[in-house]
Amino acid sequence: MTADAASDAQAVPAADGLPPDGRSADAAGPTRRQLGWRWAARAIGLLAVAVTVMMIALGIGMRANDAAIDEHLGTATATVLSVSPLRTGVEFVDTTGATVRPEGGVLYPGLLSIGQQFVVEYSTANPQIARVAGRTAGVGTVMIAITLGVTYLIAAPLIWWCLRRAKLPLFGLGRGPGHATPLRTPARP
């Protein structure tokens, strides 16, 4: 057999559809499309992790504010000055007679309206930290749990779908370079 005939014989795939060396056609590496889907899955996962970190930080902050209020508890009657999606502005007079308008608004302001008066609990050491009387971090914990639940209910199927499209693992934790692909042997009848 000549050298040309031998090279032609090697180029012809076997009956099982694999090249004579036994490697599949995708052994050369993933396509750009596959890599794109894998990166999309990674981005969704990273976004879910970022939301989780933010919710944990929020929970820690709520508990720290509650602890500060509980350590130096003061109460007063407050009036709602403004209501927006990000904060509820209030005004109250503390035990020293000073009028206080907390910069961050009041904690746990649900169902308050402009002009409404209510009892506020605040830290006498730092009157800028105030909450609606009777409400604690437990109120916010429910919202954190709901946010995390919805985040993962959306992220998990999206990651799964992207990885199915990619036909690759989320992380390239397979065998590293230098490992030979095992030869496939044709099934025996």
Report pTM: 0.69
Q: pLDDT per position in the chain (189 positions), as tens?
A: 555 444 444 444 545 454 444 445 445 788 899 899 999 999 999 999 999 999 999 999 999 999 999 999 999 999 999 998 888 999 999 999 999 999 999 988 888 999 999 999 999 999 999 999 999 999 889 999 999 999 999 999 999 999 999 888 888 765 545 555 555 666 666
Cα distance between the two ends of the chain: 30
Q: Per the domain annotation, does 148 fall within a domain?
A: yes
In terms of residue numbers, what domain contains 96?
31-166
Give a yes or no: residue 99 inside a domain: yes
Does residue 47 fall inside a structural domain?
yes
125 in a structural domain: yes
Residue 184 lies in a domain: no
DSSP code, position 171: S
Report if residue 98 sits inside a domain.
yes
Amino acid identity of 134? G
Distances (CA, A) of 69 to 3, 72, 86, 136, 162: 87, 5, 21, 10, 46
β partners of residue 93: 99
pLDDT digits (tens, 9 = 90+) for 40-56: 999 999 999 999 999 99
As for how many domains the chain has, the answer is 1
Q: Does 121 fall in a domain?
A: yes
Asked, for residue 9, whether it belongs to a domain, the answer is: no
